[in-house]
């Protein structure tokens, strides 16, 4: 867990490494960092792929040359911080403490990706290491994600604070079957490019949702969901760029958004969604994930930060075996896929999972 005896800052900065060491010691036990990032306080002649080059003043450095080396670049001045990593840009605005670079080194050592480590570092405040719980949990200190389009006026229609058991299902037959078993939150994730098939499956699922007075979300296909009068839609981070959020909100549909860490949570909250999905908690084979599994420790911290601010759904690799640990974080809902659709006895599986939620109340 020690940052000492390795090159964390370049050029070497004894005072920074001492502060970083103190902060890291108060953050708890986290998996070893997969990348040993080197925070460069000035641009090196020969940057490396695991360099994170920081500029805290306006500069005339050849950004394109540095970026082509594979290094990540951070420009922090004027109340704005921009991280450039390959073709990706992460822009944040707000205030930060003088210790933010030391905090950045500490959170990178906790195995957070640079954009999430940066988000946490900007939320860090001098003296936090003296608290009983040093982890940043005060939402007011977190930065804002910059350069986002305006959120729909009035936000999205709300849903219940605790959505409970949330099966994600492949077709309308499964939706009907699960709702008949007493589940009141479900999602249709129909993997089809056939327009008539989508329309038919969505319409049938929406009707089942109405019949059971259930919270039935449609994954991705927001146009068809609006046309069918669905309760809500669930979108990924990439879909926010292409979906007409104003049309979804105007139609009165709820919106759930996927997130995979601190930066994406802040980005999603800007659009005032009906709930946030946090994941993937564990490895999953149901879809290709853009990030590594979050794990229970991170999930617990996300819930601690966001509980009461927006309904939360844990998702990714969750089954009956791990469900008690997931619910112990305080999250009000957990999405499951194979735990229901691949169960030998779906009715028994649903009943057992529902009982776990009942014991949580």
Give binding residues for Mg(2+) as ranges: 220, 239
3-state SS track over the chain: CCCCCCCCEECCCHHHHHHHHHHHHCCCCCCCCCCCCEEECCCCCCCCCCEEEEECCCCCCCHHHHHHCCCEEEEEECCEEEEEECCEEEEEECCCCCCHHHHHHHHHHCCCCHHHHHHHHHHCCCCHHHCCCCCCCCHHHCCEECCCCCCCCCCCCCCCCCCEEEEEECCHHHHHHHHHCCCCEEEECCCCCCHHHHHHHHHHHHHHHHHCCCEEEEECCHHHHHHHCCCEEEECHHHHHCCCHHHHHHCCCEEEEEECCHHHHHHHHCCCCCEEEEECCCCCCCCCCCCCCCHHHHHHHHHHHHCCCCCEEEECCCCCCCHHHHHCCCCCEEEECHHHHCCCCHHHHHHHHHHHHHHHC
Which residues are part of a known binding site?
187-191, 219-220, 239, 258, 284-287, 317
State the Cα torsion 54-265-120-87 to the nearest 10°. -20
């Amino acid at each position: 867990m020690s940052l000492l005896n390795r090159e964390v800052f370049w050029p070497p900065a004894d005072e920074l490494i001492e502060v970083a060491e103190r902060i890291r010691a108060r953050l708890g036990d986290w998996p070893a960092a997969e990348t040993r990032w080197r925070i460069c306080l000035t641009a090196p002649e020969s940057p490396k792929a695991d360099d994170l080059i920081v500029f805290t003043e306006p500069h005339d450095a050849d950004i394109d040359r540095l970026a082509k080396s594979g290094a990540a670049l951070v420009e922090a001045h004027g109340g704005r911080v921009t991280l450039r990593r390959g073709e990706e840009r992460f822009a944040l605005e707000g205030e930060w403490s003088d210790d933010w670079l030391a905090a950045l080194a500490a959170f990178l050592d906790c195995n957070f990706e640079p954009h999430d480590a940066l988000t946490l570092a900007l939320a860090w405040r001098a003296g936090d290491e003296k608290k009983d719980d040093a982890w940043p949990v005060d939402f007011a200190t977190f930065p804002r994600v910059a350069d986002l389009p305006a959120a729909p006026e009035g936000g999205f229609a709300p849903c219940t604070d605790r959505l409970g058991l949330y099966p994600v299902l492949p077709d309308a037959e499964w939706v009907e079957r699960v709702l008949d078993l007493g589940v009141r939150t479900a999602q249709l994730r129909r993997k089809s490019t056939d327009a008539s098939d989508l329309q038919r499956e969505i319409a049938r699922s929406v009707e089942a949702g109405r019949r059971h007075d259930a919270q039935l979300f449609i994954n991705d296909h927001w146009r068809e969901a609006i046309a069918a009068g669905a309760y809500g839609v669930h979108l990924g981070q990439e879909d926010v760029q292409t979906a007409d959020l104003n049309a979804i909100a105007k139609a009165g549909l709820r919106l759930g958004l996927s997130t995979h860490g601190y930066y994406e949570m802040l980005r999603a909250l800007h659009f005032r969604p009906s709930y946030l999905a946090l994941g993937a908690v564990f490895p999953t084979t149901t879809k290709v994930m853009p990030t590594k599994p979050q794990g229970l420790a991170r999930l617990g911290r996300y819930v601690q930060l966001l509980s009461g601010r927006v309904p939360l759904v844990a998702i990714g690799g969750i089954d009956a075996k791990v469900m008690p640990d997931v619910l112990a974080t305080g999250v009000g809902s957990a999405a499951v896929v194979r735990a229901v659709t691949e169960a030998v006895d779906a009715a028994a599986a649903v009943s057992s999972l529902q009982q776990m939620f009942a014991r949580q109340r």
